A = this chain, B = another copy of it.
């Protein structure tokens, strides 16, 4: 039955699209469906991301480079990347209807523009004419615009939607800044004050505007105030008012506006997602439906349902699938209707961990020994609360030892003792607990522990081997050993219940922070490329402090400037790595005096723009996101679907004594990760774990 097989394939695609919130309108011809399945294959995605990474990392090898490669090499690699992107794009064009494809020509434009730029640059470079490789700023946009960058695109869209609101507050903020600057000019401009470098203080209007803008970032506090303060204490009233209004009130208003419009937009977006998901599920049902006698409505049989679920999630166990079916087929009719089928996409997203509580393998091998009195005593001891406390104490003692000087032989040898203790702990736990449940996918801390202790053991052994054989210690390996030792201490947090809630929230927002990281990388990359074009080699860092130009960063304009005096020379735009580090520093404190004094206006405009984009918009969205995650954690109730699944698990336990609900993870809205929004009335299911243990 090729037709039926075709139907199943189509339905599978619909269901998995719905489950992963993919909203792609693909062609439903048999060939297109096969191509679409291929398009969604994980290998292609990995390949795509690999080439995007290669393309982005080209900045390391291009002028100004960390490791300079010849032009032909980087050009060739970039061409290869472009070919891969084009191939992916052609594949995409085959999958979706042509009208849809031509509606979003952004990727085509990026590739075409890059190609044009490469040709122009290559030919001009061959003719030795200087020219800017401007298409490099387009590279990170591919990361946003590929079909897999859904979450990132959503983040960008929501920023775009918050912009009009931010804009009005920003205008008002600028007005306030300009008025305060005018007042400063009138009050302080004529008093012949000098700043600490001996230049006239607050005599130029644009200079004042810039200085007061920087004061909002708190970077030049209290320096900008000191000359006025030294002239008279009353002038501080001006600065205090300014800081109150512009630094505290306006920055809070920015946060409020960003938070508010972001949240509003998100709700709308999720409503659309839910609609798309329902549409896909309904189409899958339409493909699979059968007319059964005795039913007025079309239905789906358990066999077809099983087939689909097995196709979509091959990793799901039979018991778990039976459980899901029993939730769908609430009345035990053997068939389900459309409504019950539509919720399957959400059901699949609720993680149910089925742990078979098998007997310990040692019990099978040596039953008499494992069940003997001393063995039982060990089991009781390890499971006792005191065992945890004892090891927490050991960790604390270990912390003190780490803090002491490791060149003392007593201290360095004690490390072996601690390692042995930690190994003993893990072995004891493995003796007591069933290994497969101990290393189940969601036992974060068990994995953490074992990995850290094992790596520390290996690194320490390598280190001692090197020391005793070759007689020297590798600094790199020693660093790794130290980091691993310190990381081990984190484990102590898990034993305190109050901390665990906070930590778990933080771990849960981890994936979302990764998406946020991508967002930051895109913005940083664009600013880094532009910054390198504008400011490369304006400031130089000399590793050798006896170099004659070391004292002023290789730029005579910086002679005697605090930028050089404070040793900031390595904060420059001379390659992509130092650019990124400089941009991080600017995010924390907008300290750009050095560049401003070397290049004047362009650096100031660059830094103000960077501050507006990164601090006012993106950091505020990040803060809003963390706030929301914690508010949800403090207030959330379970979704209806989740509750019904749990009820089912409990029912089954009563009936078959098969499942025991152990712990129910609380869910959290994931803004940047595939959006599951608990406040939504449509009951979009959260990415939740219900841990069930098979007792027999």
Contacts and interface: CB of A to CB of B under 8 A. Distances in A.
A92 interface: no
A541 B482 CA distance: 46
Contacts of A493: 172, 175
A233 B399 contact: no
Interface stretch (A6-14, A266-274, A621-629): A621-629
A591 interface: yes
Contacts of A399: 182
Given A578-B233, A585-B222, A179 B502 contact: no
A62 to B, nearest CB: 18
Contacts of A499: 168, 171-172, 175
Interface size class of A (residues with CB under 8 A): 35 or more
A503 interface: yes
Contacts of A503: 172
A486 B223 CA distance: 25
Please tell me how many copies of the chain the complex holds.
2
Contacts of A185: 403
A486 B179 CA distance: 7
Contacts of A252: 622-623, 626-627
A499 B588 CA distance: 30
A483 B237 CA distance: 13
A482 B179 CA distance: 12
Most chain B C-beta atoms within 10 Å of own C-beta, residue among A169, A222, A229, A499: A222
A236 B567 contact: no
Contacts of A23: none
Contacts of A397: none
A448 interface: no
A459 B180 CA distance: 20
Given A196-B566, A566-B226, A626 B186 contact: no
Contacts of A229: 570, 581
A568 B502 contact: no
B502 A253 contact: yes
Contacts of A589: 218, 221-222
A630 interface: yes
B577 A489 contact: no
Nearest to A584: B240
A485 interface: yes
B571 A222 contact: yes
Interface in A158-212: 168-169, 171-172, 175, 179, 182-183, 185-187, 196, 205
B183 A483 contact: yes
A249 interface: yes
Interface string A466-508: 0000000000000100110110011011000011001100100
Contacts of A248: 619, 622-623, 626
A626 B169 CA distance: 14
Contacts of A622: 248, 252
A256 interface: yes
A446 interface: no
Interface string A581-614: 1001100110100000000000000000000000
Contacts of A297: none
A487 to B, nearest CB: 8
A566 B236 contact: no
Contact of A566 (B223, B240, B578, B627): B223
Contact of A196 (B223, B225, B479, B567): B567
A260 interface: yes
Contact of A498 (B168, B256, B541, B568): B168
A203 to B, nearest CB: 10
B486 A588 contact: no
A482 B257 CA distance: 34
Interface string A61-101: 00000000000000000000000000000000000000000
A324 B425 CA distance: 76
A441 to B, nearest CB: 25
Interface in A245-300: 247-249, 252-253, 255-257, 259-260
A591 B626 contact: no
Nearest to A260: B634
A57 interface: no
A179 B187 CA distance: 49
A243 interface: yes
Contact of A256 (B169, B256, B486, B627): B627
Nearest to A543: B230
Interface in A227-244: 227, 229-230, 233, 236, 240, 243
Contacts of A257: 630
Contacts of A247: 588
A490 to B, nearest CB: 6
Contacts of A182: 399, 402-403, 486, 489
A631 interface: yes
A221 B566 CA distance: 12
A585 B229 CA distance: 12
Contacts of A218: 218, 588-589
B179 A490 contact: yes
A287 B186 CA distance: 63
A187 B475 CA distance: 10
Interface string A382-416: 00000000000000000100110010000000000
19 contacts: A179-B486, A182-B402, A183-B483, A185-B403, A186-B482, A187-B483, A221-B585, A221-B589, A222-B568, A223-B566, A233-B577, A233-B578, A240-B584, A243-B584, A248-B622, A248-B623, A256-B630, A257-B630, A259-B627
Given A230-B567, A260-B631, 11 more contacts: A169-B502, A185-B403, A196-B565, A218-B218, A221-B591, A223-B566, A225-B585, A230-B541, A243-B588, A256-B630, A256-B631
Minimum-distance CB pairs A-B, first 8: A186-B482, A256-B630, A252-B626, A183-B486, A222-B585, A221-B588, A256-B627, A252-B623
